[in-house]
A and B are shown apart, each in its own frame.
Chain A
Amino acid sequence: MALKMIKPFIDAVTDVLPQLGFECVTQNGLTTKRKKIVASGVVITLGIVGDKKGNVVYSTSKEGAKKIASIMMMGMPVEELDDMAKSALSELSNMLTANAGINFSNEGITVDISVPTLMYGEDIELSMNKDEIICAEFDVDGIKLEISVALD
């Protein structure tokens, strides 16, 4: 059941990222966490409603976020997490979640997604309103990207 919830997101990452110029996308782990997650760096959350209801959170380190934004902007150097970089990351979260939504709909599950909210900081404690959260960890050209899904 848990796998069924995160599979559309995993497929979205492996489908979408190569199209954006990322070369090597590998999934490293799949874990189940209880309620609270601690993250440092950049976290982006989107709400999901429809046949399934919940949230998805994308997280990566601040350095990782800058590298991702840079690759998305055709290799433009990103020194600071400025508006352009934040906008690129929000857009990435939109694309991934929308793509996961399409993957869900191929299985007959209809979901809609909200606009993303981006936050950054150190030791951010995350609670996602569900006891069990499924997390998938990816290595994207050497950058660690984590996806946490809490869906009912």
Chain B
Amino acid sequence: MGSLKVMIVDDSTFSIAVLKNMLVKSGLDVVATALTMGDAIEQAKGNTFDLITMDMTLPDGDGIECSREILKHVKDAKILAISSMMDEEIIKKAKDVGIKAYLQKPVNQNELNASIQRLFEGDELYKILTDNYEEAFKESIFSFLKREIGGEIVIEDNPINSTATRKSSGISVTIGIIGRHNGRCIIDMSDDTSLNMTRKILQDEDQSIDNAIAFLSEFTNVVAGNACSLLNGLNQSFGLRVSPPTVFRGNDITISIGDILSKSYKIKTNLGEVFMNAGFQKVGNEWH
């Protein structure tokens, strides 16, 4: 975590010196210090800090007020309160204003390390997820289709903009993904493609649309489940689990897919085309 830049806000030069030592030991880079609320706000406006430590008593205000002002200008600022005062009322105030964690002085090195790790763990995990989920879902759907349908399987990216909607081809299945960060997987195909695939897999030409729905439901379940297992294998902390599928069928369904960070794919098979969308939404760090 050597690249994380920190500003220490504290009215005591002694406390600043102590905290600076500890933060450096935690592997952080202390690039600024402020003794007053005014100075802290000015510096926060003009610089980018990965973390700000905040004392609760400042000569020209308090840590709550100071944090509120900073968060007005820097919405995603990570503020860690470090103060000798710590009671339920002030913790609640800190939480309400948007402070991410609270430590009481004197702080020990282990506590500080653990707190910093928790603060940044969510970000790191989210990055691993965003770097890897596309491959996981592509690999998962590819191996299922290759194994069950065979023939040539081509996966193409299907770029969508952030406000996209998509017209369903006929049957759409969504599966919710729940874990450290939450998400969703949608697989969509026409009645015909779904029936074709069901016939092929069951080796029986006589298939009803209900069988096709049951197939698509299970297909989506396996694709999403396998992809989540691959991701969980990268880091146990994801703890991704899938909810049961919900199937939507109709001639005129529009799916809203632009609401979370997601990627869409067009998968071409000998039995028809499949559309897949998968994505995740960042869940904030829990308060400790």
Which positions 56-70 of chain A face chain B at CB distance < 8 Å?
57
Count chain B residues whose beta carbon lies closer than 8 angstroms to a beta carbon of A. 34
A117 contacts B174, CB within 8 Å? yes
Q: For B255, what are the chain A residues with a Cβ–Cβ distance below 8 Å?
A: 117-119
Does B285 touch A at the CB level, under 8 Å?
Answer: no
Chain A's interface size range is 35 or more
Interface SS of chain A: helix, strand, loop or mixed?
strand
B175 contacts A125, CB within 8 Å? no
A49 contacts B241, CB within 8 Å? yes
A129 contacts B249, CB within 8 Å? no
Does A128 touch B at the CB level, under 8 Å?
Answer: yes
How far in angstroms is the closest Cβ of chain A from B184? 5
Q: For B253, what are the chain A residues with a Cβ–Cβ distance below 8 Å?
A: 119-121, 124
B256 contacts A119, CB within 8 Å? yes
A45 contacts B174, CB within 8 Å? yes
B244 contacts A47, CB within 8 Å? yes
The residue of chain B having its C-beta at the shortest distance from the C-beta of A43 within the complex is: B248
Assess A121 versus B281: contact at CB under 8 Å? Given A48-B176, A127-B217, A128-B246: no
Q: For B172, what are the chain A residues with a Cβ–Cβ distance below 8 Å?
A: 119
The 0/1 profile, CB within 8 Å of A marked 1, for residues 105-132 of chain B is 0000000000000000000000000000
Binding site for A on B (CB under 8 A): 163, 168, 172, 174-178, 182-184, 186, 213, 217, 241-256, 258-260, 281
Binding site for B on A (CB under 8 A): 43, 45-50, 53-55, 57, 83, 86-87, 90, 112-130, 150
